[in-house]
């Protein structure tokens, strides 16, 4: 899909954006996750921001869209953008070797090209011989320590497979410093972050004074409760691999600007195409994943996305841009078991369903809301000329959802459903004395409001 710079948003987008927070609010409720922040951008403009849960469970601090998260390996996309910008300026080439800029490297690492470092194909060790810093048992490596570990040989031969390496991107940060003569954080903040207009993003801690930081959280299984991780440890020489702090909105803005179809002055279209072009496949991944230059490529139900993910102590995050539809989604969670990947796919599923079905017609406008039975909630989601019976407890609430087709005022037929559902049977809206919908009948099943069901069950089983 291509649109002019001043084109209005597609008419299906608003109803999709209205349902995403309703679904995600229930996901938070049912999973008891600490917090989640989500943003959606269309053509680079943020059109949805939502935050749920807590920035700090122990302190009881509510999470807002302005809370910063440790977004970890999203940092690699910023670093790769920096290298591509220096390439545009004629200050380096992608086939230059690391040894041209950084001394003291093992000869095999010194011969690795910048393209190999950015595509994780240089064979460099992932985190070194002792990565205690990933579990708060030690500080992140300083420059001397990183250089010392890069003096050892690579783990495998270069250009043999995709092999993720934080040390490789730490080396990319050293190369930026060598070329620019400035500290990595200073140069990348001015030349990448500020140029992209990201007011809530820094290459490492500390954050801007007064800016709120969402705290990380442990899993619940070990102790039966979650512990709070401060999330304020500097990443030092590995900032170019994992140091960045940002918000969902800023990440959505940034990755939208990396799309080859974007209107942006951050990088040329040629550089953006080069960043997003798949270089390697992860053949051992449970889901199809490719890697470009500092970007992860993935596919969701035919939608091809490019972005990155991140994992830090107590945080899991993910961002993806679907260039074909000018959409970017960023989902940030502040727990070690946060389902950021799953929830981003769920948001994509909702967007895709509305893009395919269109906005709801007047005939289905009243078929909406969340309705309950003892089996749980069902969301009536009107789109196009159909009503979908969404299951908000599912990661993809619209996956194989039962469909209703109106047959008259407040009447419908189950026009699509699985074999174990009630295909072909009637559905209807039941209105109260005030004319508002009070109940929904789906075949022989009666759905009511949450308050009505709660009163019914407590009266029956607690009486």
Residue-level pLDDT at 173:
98
Domain range summary for the chain, segments of one domain joined by +: 34-338, 362-461
CATH number for 34-338 (one of 3.20.20.140, 3.30.413.10, 3.40.710.10, 3.40.50.2020): it is: 3.40.710.10
Residue-level pLDDT at 6:
56
CB 86 within 8 A of CB 270: no
Closest to 166 measured CA to CA, from 198, 213, 124: 124
Residue-level pLDDT at 42:
97
Residue whose structure tokens are 């470009």: 292
Residue-level pLDDT at 2:
32
State the Cα–Cα distance between residues 406 and 383, nearest whole angstrom.
12
CATH assignment, 362-461? 2.40.128
Q: How many residues does the chain have?
A: 463
CB 152 within 8 A of CB 165: no
Residue-level pLDDT at 1:
28
Task: List the chain residues with pLDDT less than 50.
Answer: 1-5
Closest to 213 measured CA to CA, from 222, 202, 223: 202
Q: What percent of the chain has pLDDT over 70?
A: 98
At residue 218, φ and ψ (nearest 5 deg) are: -75, 175
Residue-level pLDDT at 264:
86
State the Cα–Cα distance between residues 94 and 117, nearest whole angstrom.
9
Q: State pTM to two decimals.
A: 0.96
CB 183 within 8 A of CB 258: no
State the Cα–Cα distance between residues 273 and 279, nearest whole angstrom.
12
Residue-level pLDDT at 285:
85
């Amino acid at each position: 899909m291509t649109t002019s710079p001043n084109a209005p948003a597609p008419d299906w987008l608003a109803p999709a954006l209205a349902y995403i927070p309703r679904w995600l609010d229930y996901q938070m409720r049912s999973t008891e996750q600490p917090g989640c922040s989500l943003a959606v951008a269309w053509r680079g403009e943020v059109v949805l921001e939502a935050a749920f849960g807590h920035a700090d469970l122990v302190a009881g601090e509510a999470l807002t869209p302005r809370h910063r998260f440790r977004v970890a390996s999203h940092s690699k996309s910023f670093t790769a953008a920096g290298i591509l910008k220096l390439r545009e300026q004629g200050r380096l080439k992608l086939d230059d070797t690391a040894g041209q800029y950084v001394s003291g490297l093992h000869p095999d690492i010194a011969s690795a090209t910048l393209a190999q470092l950015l595509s994780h194909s240089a064979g460099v060790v992932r985190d070194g011989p002792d990565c205690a810093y990933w579990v708060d048992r030690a500080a992140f490596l300083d420059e001397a320590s990183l250089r010392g570990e890069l003096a050892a040989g690579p783990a495998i031969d270069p250009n043999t497979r995709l092999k993720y390496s934080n040390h490789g991107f730490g080396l990319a940060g050293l190369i930026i410093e060598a070329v620019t003569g400035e500290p990595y954080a200073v140069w990348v903040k001015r030349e990448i972050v500020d140029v992209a207009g990201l007011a809530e993003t820094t290459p490492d801690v500390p954050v801007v004074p007064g800016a709120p930081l969402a705290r990380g959280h442990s899993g619940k299984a070990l102790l039966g409760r979650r512990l709070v991780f401060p999330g304020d440890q500097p990443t030092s020489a590995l900032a170019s691999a994992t140091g960045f702090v940002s918000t969902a909105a800023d990440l959505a803005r940034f990755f939208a600007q990396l799309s080859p179809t974007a209107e942006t002055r951050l990088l040329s279209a040629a550089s953006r195409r080069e960043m997003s072009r798949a270089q390697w496949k992860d053949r051992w991944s449970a889901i199809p994943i490719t890697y470009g230059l500092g970007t992860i490529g993935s596919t969701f139900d035919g939608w091809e996305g490019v972005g990155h993910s991140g994992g830090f102590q107590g945080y899991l995050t993910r961002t993806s841009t679907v260039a074909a539809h000018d959409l970017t989604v960023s989902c940030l969670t502040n727990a070690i078991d946060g389902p950021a990947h799953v929830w981003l796919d769920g948001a994509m599923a909702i967007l895709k369903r509305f893009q395919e079905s269109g906005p709801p017609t007047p005939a289905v406008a009243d078929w909406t809301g969340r309705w309950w039975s003892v089996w749980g909630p069902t969301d009536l989601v009107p789109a196009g000329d159909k009503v979908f019976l969404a299951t908000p407890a599912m990661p993809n609430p619209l996956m194989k959802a039962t469909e209703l087709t109106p047959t008259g005022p407040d009447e419908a037929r189950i026009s699509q459903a699985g074999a174990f559902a009630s295909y072909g049977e009637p559905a209807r809206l039941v209105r109260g004395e005030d004319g508002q919908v009070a109940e929904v009948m789906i075949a022989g099943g009666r759905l009511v409001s949450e308050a009505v069901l709660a009163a019914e069950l407590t009266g029956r089983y607690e009486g």
